[in-house]
Amino acid sequence: MFMLCNNIISNYVFCNYWFVVCVLQCAWLFCNKVRS
């Protein structure tokens, strides 16, 4: 049970990490478009 919970938590953190990376990339591209 602990392993299952640990796996779910690690997957959640992993997905959130990539979500944040995508959001930051989109914001960076948007900022570049606005400034140029």
Mean pLDDT taken over the chain? 82
The C-alpha atoms of residue 6 and residue 9 are separated, in whole angstroms, by 5
Distance CA 17, CA 14 (A): 5
Q: What percent of the chain has pLDDT over 90?
A: 17
Find the largest Cα–Cα distance for the chain: 53
Expressed as residue numbers, the domain containing 9 is: 1-36
Total domains in the fold of the chain: 1
More confident residue, 8 or 17: 17
What is the Cα–Cα distance from 18 to 20, expressed in whole angstroms?
5
